[in-house]
Copies of this chain bind each other. A is one copy, B any other.
Amino acid sequence: MKLDSNIPYKIYLTEEELPRAWYNVRADMINKPAPLLNPETHKPMTAEELSVVFCDELVAQELNETDREIPIPDDIRDFYKMYRPAPLVRAYCLEEKLQTPAKIYYKFEGNNTSGSHKLNSAIAQAHYAKKQGLKGVTTETGAGQWGTALSMACSYYGLDCKVFMVKCSYEQKPFRREVMRTYGASVTPSPSMETKVGRAILKEHPGTAGSLGCAISEAVEVATGLDGYRYVLGSVLNQVMLHQSIIGLETKTAMDKYNIVPDIIIGCAGGGSNLGGLIAPFMGEKLRGERDYQFIAVEPKSCPSLTRGVYAYDYCDTGAVCPLAKMYTLGSNFIPSASHAGGLRYHGMSSTLSQLYADGYMEARSVEQTKVFEAAEYFARIEGILPAPESSHAIRVAIDEALKCKETGEEKTILFGLTGTGYFDMYAYEKFHNGIMNDYIPSDEELQASFARLPKVEE
C-alpha cells in the first residue's frame, strides 16, 4: 500500500473543529425550492399548519430560506461528539487495487450504532421535540436505518418513539427491529390495523408488503391524533438537509486542512438526505460562483426518481395526509419491485436537490443492484468496511469514475459519501452470493401510468 506521507489514511478533526453551525444551502440558491402546499387548498403551507405535524423549531428551519448559518445547539453538539467528527478516509488500498491515478476519498458515517448518517438529523429532531415539552414522536422506517437512529436519539432524551416499519423490512430484518427495541422504541409493521389509513390499505390490498409512503401516512395519523406527539421524517425535508450539512462541513474542513480539492463529489440518493448533506458547502461555493465541482447523485435503476421521474407537485405519502411537495417523482403510488434490496426506495426526492438538479447544478445516474453489490463486495474486501447497499451505489460510481481516470490518465480527486454499514443487510448479500439477486427496471408504460395519477396542481 502506497501511503502519501502528507495525508493520513483517516483524517479526523478534533472535537473543537466540529462545526458550530449547520449550513443552509437555500440561502445561496437563486431559484429557491418550491414551497410545500396544503393538499386541500393547494396554497403554501403556513407555519401554523405545519406545526400540527412538526415541532415548532423544525417548522421554522423548514421555512427558513434566508439564514446561511443556523447555530447547532450545544446539547446537540455534545451528542455529536459521541460519534463525530466522522473520519474522512483516503482509499489508498482501493486506488492501488484499481491502479488508477485518481485520488479517492470517502466520508464514513457508519461508525455509530444506527450504522448511518441518519443519526445526525435524528438527534436534532429529538432535541427540538424535547425542548417543546413533547411526550414523543412517530416516524416510518424502510431499511431501518432511520428508525434505529431515531430510537437512539429518543432514548437519549427520554422521549417515546413509535416506529412504523415497512412490513417486508420488518419481516426480513428482525434484528433491526430488535435494535430499536433495545433503545426502547415500539415497532409496528406497516400497514397496520392501528390507523385508519392502514386499515383502508389492508382492505384494498390484503397481502401488501407495505411501502414507505404508506408507513408515513400511518405515522402522521398517529402523531396528529395523540396529545404531545409530533411526526418526524429522516429525509426529503429541508430541515433534514440542513442537519445533514454537518457531513459536508466536516468533510470540507478536513479537505481544506490538507489542501485537497475534490473534482467529483458522489452520493447515493433516495430522499436526498446524505447527498444533500455531503455536497452542501461545496454546492454553496458553486452557487456563489467561487469554485466549480461535478456533483453526481446515484440512484437505483429500480427507483429512478431523478433520472426518469417528472418534476412536479406530488404527495409525499400514499395516504395523501402530508403536504404536497414539488420534486422529481415517480408518483406517490410507485412502489419499487420486491426484488429491490436496501433503501433508496422513496418515490420522490428532496425539493432542494430537485431544484438544483432542474437548474443544472448536478447530474444523476442510475445503477443496477447486481452491479452495486459487486462494488460493495469488492470494496469490503479491499477497504475492510462492509458497506450498506445504499452507500454502495456511490461506491459503484466512484469506482467507475476512477476507472475512467485510469483510461484517460487524469489525476482527478474523487470524493464520495460512505453513508453506512451493511451489517443488517446480510440477507441481501446472501442473495447476491447465492446468485439469486435480480435487477428490475420499470418499463416506460409503468412509469407513465404512475405519472397519470399525479395530482393536478396549478403553479
A174 and B421 alpha carbons, distance in the complex (Å)? 17
**A430 — which chain B residues lie within 8 A by C-beta?**
174-175, 178, 181
Within 8 Å of chain B (Cβ to Cβ): is A1?
Answer: yes
Interface string of A77-110 (1 = CB under 8 A from B): 0110111000000000100000000000000000
Q: List residues of A (1-31) whose CB comes within 8 Å of B's CBs.
A: 1, 3, 8-10, 12, 14-15
* Copies per complex of this chain: 2
- Name A82's contact: one of B12, B93, B113, B174 (CB within 8 Å): B93
Given contacts A421-B113, A424-B423, is CB(A83)–CB(B182) below 8 Å? no
A380 and B423 form a contact (CB under 8 A): no
How far is it, in angstroms, between the C-alpha of A385 and the C-alpha of B115 when the chains are bound?
10
- CB of A179 within 8 A of CB of B78, answer no
Checking B3, B15, B79, B429 against A178 with a beta-carbon cut-off of 8 angstroms, the contacting residue is B429
Contact B175 A426 (CB under 8 A): yes
A377 close to B (CB within 8 Å): yes
Which B residues lie within 8 Å of A203 (CB)? none
For the complex, what is the distance from the CA of A383 to the CA of B81, rounded to whole Å? 11
Q: Are B383 and A82 in contact (CB under 8 A)?
A: yes
Contact (Cβ within 8 A) B152 A384:
yes
Contact B15 A10 (CB under 8 A): yes
Please give the distance in Å from A143's CB to the nearest CB on chain B: 15
A8, B81: Cβ atoms closer than 8 Å: yes
B15 touches A8 (CB 8 A): yes
Chain B residue contacts of A423, Cβ below 8 A = 113, 115, 175, 179, 423-424
Contact with A380, one of B81, B183, B377 (Cβ below 8 angstroms): B183
| Chain A 146-182 interface residues, beta-carbon cutoff 8 Å to B | 152, 155-156, 174-175, 178-179, 181-182
Nearest CB in chain B to that of A148: its residue: B386
In the complex with contacts A78-B3, A113-B421, A423-B423, A182-B386 CB distance below 8 A:
yes
CA distance A184 to B382 in the complex (A): 12
A155: chain B residues within 8 A (beta carbon): 381
What is the CA–CA distance of A386 and B179 in the complex, to the nearest angstrom? 8
A116 to chain B, nearest CB (A): 13
Separation of A202 and B395 alpha carbons in the complex (Å)? 45
Q: How far is the CB of A6 from chain B (nearest CB, A)?
A: 12
Name the residue in A10, A174, A421 with the highest tally of chain B Cβ atoms < 10 Å from its Cβ.
A10
Q: A152: which B residues are within 8 A, CB to CB?
A: 384
Interface string of A173-208 (1 = CB under 8 A from B): 011001101111000000000000000000000000
- Residue A51 at the B interface, CB < 8 A? no
Contacts of A9 in B (CB 8 A): 15, 78, 81-82
Q: With the chains together, A333 CA to B427 CA distance in Å?
A: 35
With A82-B383, A152-B384 already in contact, 10 other A-B pairs whose C-beta atoms are closer than 8 Å: A8-B14, A9-B78, A9-B81, A9-B82, A113-B421, A178-B430, A179-B426, A182-B433, A183-B381, A423-B423
What are 22 pairs between A and B in contact, CB < 8 Å?
A1-B78, A1-B79, A8-B14, A8-B15, A8-B81, A9-B15, A10-B81, A82-B384, A93-B156, A111-B111, A113-B380, A113-B385, A113-B421, A152-B384, A178-B426, A179-B423, A179-B426, A181-B430, A182-B377, A182-B380, A182-B386, A423-B423
- Please list the 3 inter-chain residue pairs (A to B) with the smallest Cβ-Cβ separation, ordered nearest first: A175-B426, A9-B81, A178-B426
Residues on A lying within 8 angstroms of B by beta carbon are: 1, 3, 8-10, 12, 14-15, 75, 78-79, 81-83, 93, 111-113, 115, 152, 155-156, 174-175, 178-179, 181-184, 377, 380-386, 421, 423-424, 426-427, 429-430, 433
